[in-house]
Structure 1
Amino acid sequence: MDETLGKALHRWRDRLSPLDVGRTSRPGRRAVGLRREELAELAGLSVDYVVRLEQGRAKSPSAQVVASLARALQLQPMERDHAYRLAGLLPPQEGTISTHVPAGVQRMVARLGEFPTGVFSADWTLLSWTPAWAVLMGDPGTRTHVERNLVRAVFAAGHGRLAAWPVLQDDNALKPALVSDLRTALVNYPRDRAFIDLVEELRSTSAEFTRLWDEGTVGPHASARKTVVHPQVGEVICDCDVLTVPGCDIRLVVYTVAAGSADAEKLEFLRVANGLRADGTSPSGPNLFSTP
């Protein structure tokens, strides 16, 4: 029997436990693995489109769609490449930025549901996030793929930003740190045309980015204290820690607050007001969301 993308997606969906994506497997659940609705929500796709893919009626998914499905299904690198080939696409090449999030990292993030956590690629594009992140920062699902790049949002003219409302940093170190981090990453991904285009775009549209880039500073993005100006609860002061994953260049950005503080009370109010459980998971869907 010929292998198709639809058959592979169904097989991979069946083997993935709801617990792997932070979803409770309730008594009486008859579905083996993830339901199509759950995969669609995880991948940021419509249920109808997932059905058409599995049935072979949608035959030409984009590279971004395949990448999002691979993340949602927690595929291993060889399986991810197989999915690309089944879709008639070339797998990501060496020297290009990967949007693949290893299964172990996804399981870890799924269990970090209490904390607002975002998963970023090496060029600082937001790949996936917890419901607590969407509650604190605003839902990234309303942003396009281009708008979910943090560097582009920070240096954009006007009021463009990744978060739906202001996120302030006291020491003004964010912009130099992001530029330095990009310069370091460019050495690792010299063949990534989209990454090169991003740097050229920013150099042509932002004098501040150009100045910082030309200074030649090299170094990673570091942890910082940030203030989120939330429309419901006002200022929330958070510690923002940036964790890197060796071997895949994925960055986890985690926001935390001191237990028992006024900021913790504000986050708890937002959790309850938005219908999240105590562990930060949503009763209506998976714990980790992403969009193509």
Structure 2
Amino acid sequence: MDRRELAAFLRSRRERIGPAEVGLPTGPRRRTPGLRREEVAQLAFISTEYYTRLEQARGPRPSREVLAGLARALRLSYAERDHLHHLAGAPPGPPPGPSRVVRQSILDLLERLPQAAAIVLSATFEVIAWNPLAAALMEDFSALSPRDRNLVRRAFLGPRPQGRRLYGVSDVEAFARTSARQLRATAARYPDDPEVTRLVHELRAGSEEFARLWDSHEVCAEPTLCKTFRHPMVGPVTVNCDTLDITDRDQRVVIYTATPGSPSEEALRLLSVVGTQSMDVPG
């Protein structure tokens, strides 16, 4: 346990958080930046005396429960959480579960891509953010439950009317292989997360194809550079696929763009005007 570094780290993290960020009043007499020690202690469910001793580099080694409370109270990222554990001499365990919280800067980025369809996927392939063109191209995700927004579940267990399995994408078989492989890696990162466990059990029980892919123990994903959506209103839309990793949240931004001057670009332009209003057959 590195008491001095732990104390300095806790103090620096405490001072960067404004009271309003955690629902506390600012107050006219607040002289120090960030939160007060007693406020952090309250949020972490520990005594103020104990937290003060930690910041003064004279506290005992905190338990994993205390470290979890501090990480939650100080709003630490996964990397900061791991660092906290290492400073306390307690190697970190696996993260609690895949994050569904999308940074505001990423949400702003989606809105700034009016000519591209863009979505954000969690580590379990749940669509957790999207822009209007993505909803027009694929489906109005706002009308779906989180369960029904999961693309790996839709690929293996979802509706398949008139060959429109997973929105009629041309690479559905490759996507199925890739998603099964990436989900296996996700399950290894979050071995104690009940939601991940339930998803895997559901897919194995409901899809022989998924069970076969899962039992192959492959974890290397196949990159997707281009795919074609078979849209019920505008027909085939061929797009380039680019993926940006958000490593600190274990999320991915997937951006679909059409080649300039192509019929698919015209189709996307039409969809950007029509939106989801004429979407009559969800895939």
TM-score normalised according to structure 1 size: 0.59
Give the superposition deviation at 1:171: 7.7
Residues 141 and 231 from structure 1, CA distance in 2 versus in 1: closer, same or farther, beyond 3 angstroms?
A: same
| 2:264 alignment counterpart | 263
| 1:78 alignment counterpart | 75
| 2:36 alignment counterpart | none
Q: Which residues of 2 match residues 196-211 of structure 1 at below 5 A?
A: 196-211=197-212
Residues 252 and 244 from structure 1, CA distance in 2 versus in 1: closer, same or farther, beyond 3 angstroms?
A: same
Which amino acid is the alignment partner of residue 193 of structure 2? D
Q: Which residues of 2 match residues 42-57 of structure 1 at below 5 A?
A: none
Residues 157 and 232 from structure 1, CA distance in 2 versus in 1: closer, same or farther, beyond 3 angstroms?
A: closer
Match status 1:175 vs 2:176: yes
Residues 270 and 107 from structure 1, CA distance in 2 versus in 1: closer, same or farther, beyond 3 angstroms?
A: closer
Q: Is the 8 A contact 2:259 2:265 kept in 1?
A: yes
| 2:251 alignment counterpart | 250
Higher alpha-carbon Rg: 2
Which amino acid is the alignment partner of residue 175 of structure 2? L
Tell me the alpha carbon deviations over residues 116-169 of structure 1, each in whole angstroms, 9 at most, x when there is no partner. 111111001111100011111121122221111111000006528xx9973322
Tell me the alpha carbon deviations over residues 162-208 of structure 1, each in whole angstroms, 9 at most, x when there is no partner. x9973322483111100010111111111211011100111111110
SS in 2 for 1:147: helix
Q: For 1:77 and 1:101, locate their aligned partners in 2 and report how far apart those are by CA, in whole Å.
A: 18
How many residues are matched? 194
Which amino acid is the alignment partner of residue 258 of structure 1? T
| 1:48 alignment counterpart | none
Q: For 2:204 and 2:231, locate their aligned partners in 1 and report how far apart those are by CA, in whole Å.
A: 31
SS in 2 for 1:128: strand
Match status 1:273 vs 2:270: no
Q: For 2:154 and 2:221, locate their aligned partners in 1 and report how far apart those are by CA, in whole Å.
A: 18
From the two aligned structures, give the one with the greater helix fraction: 2
Match status 1:154 vs 2:155: yes
Give the superposition deviation at 1:253: 1.3
Q: For 1:259 and 1:224, locate their aligned partners in 2 and report how far apart those are by CA, in whole Å.
A: 16
| 2:217 alignment counterpart | 216
Give the superposition deviation at 1:100: 1.4
Q: Is the 8 A contact 2:121 2:252 kept in 1?
A: yes
Q: Is the 8 A contact 2:122 2:252 kept in 1?
A: yes
Q: Is the 8 A contact 1:167 1:226 kept in 2?
A: no
Residues 138 and 164 from structure 1, CA distance in 2 versus in 1: closer, same or farther, beyond 3 angstroms?
A: farther
Q: Which runs of no fewer than 5 residues in structure 1 stay unpaired?
A: 12-75, 81-92, 276-292
Q: For 1:252 and 1:200, locate their aligned partners in 2 and report how far apart those are by CA, in whole Å.
A: 26
Q: For 1:257 and 1:140, locate their aligned partners in 2 and report how far apart those are by CA, in whole Å.
A: 21
Q: Is the 8 A contact 1:181 1:221 kept in 2?
A: no
| 2:186 alignment counterpart | 185
Residues 167 and 254 from structure 1, CA distance in 2 versus in 1: closer, same or farther, beyond 3 angstroms?
A: farther
Residues 171 and 155 from structure 1, CA distance in 2 versus in 1: closer, same or farther, beyond 3 angstroms?
A: closer
Q: For 1:159 and 1:262, locate their aligned partners in 2 and report how far apart those are by CA, in whole Å.
A: 26
Q: Is the 8 A contact 2:239 2:258 kept in 1?
A: yes
Give the superposition deviation at 1:255: 0.8
TM-score normalised according to structure 2 size: 0.60
| 2:97 alignment counterpart | 96
Q: Is the 8 A contact 1:178 1:221 kept in 2?
A: no
Tell me the alpha carbon deviations over residues 192-248 of structure 1, each in whole angstroms, 9 at most, x when there is no partner. 110111001111111100000000101246323221111221111112222211221
What is the RMSD of the two structures over their aligned residues, measured on CA atoms? 3.3
Q: Is the 8 A contact 1:184 1:220 kept in 2?
A: no
SS in 1 for 2:266: helix
Residues 227 and 272 from structure 1, CA distance in 2 versus in 1: closer, same or farther, beyond 3 angstroms?
A: same
Q: For 1:170 and 1:271, locate their aligned partners in 2 and report how far apart those are by CA, in whole Å.
A: 23
Q: Which runs of no fewer than 5 residues in structure 2 stay unpaired?
A: 1-19, 27-72, 78-93, 277-283
Q: For 1:274 and 1:264, locate their aligned partners in 2 and report how far apart those are by CA, in whole Å.
A: 15
SS in 1 for 2:120: strand
